[in-house]
Amino acid sequence: MSLDYIRRYYGVPAYEGTQITYTWPAGERHTGTIVGAYVGTAHLKVSLPGLYDEPVPMHPTWEIEYPVPAGEGHQ
């Protein structure tokens, strides 16, 4: 799959270079960077410096927070 497919199918702002926050099941939060998508799956390829040497696969909607674009999310 591609990041374009992931954006359209899941409705998430998954772009290369986007910094995301991932919450581990134990509640620990880590910042990572989207570096691509895995071919053949709808998983993001995310770099988590200090945790893994290589990018890891992550589902685009599971425990991931994307940055809120300017002007959105405010009332």
21-33 burial, b at 16+ Cβ within 10 Å, e below that, comes to: ebeeeeeeeeebe
Cα pseudo-dihedral 65, 8, 60, 63, rounded to 10 = 40
Q: Which two tokens stand for residue 37?
A: 């998508």
**Predicted model pTM:** 0.86
Architecture, CATH, for domain 3-65: Roll (2.30)
Which three-class secondary structure state does DSSP give residue 66? Answer: coil
Q: State pLDDT tens for residues 61-70.
A: 999 999 976 5
Q: Which of 32, 10, 15 is nearest to 23 (CA)?
A: 32
pLDDT tier for residue 75 given thresholds of 50, 70 and 90: very low
pLDDT computed for residue 74 by the predictor: 45
Q: State pLDDT tens for residues 27-56.
A: 899 999 999 999 889 999 999 998 899 999
Domain ranges in the chain are 3-65
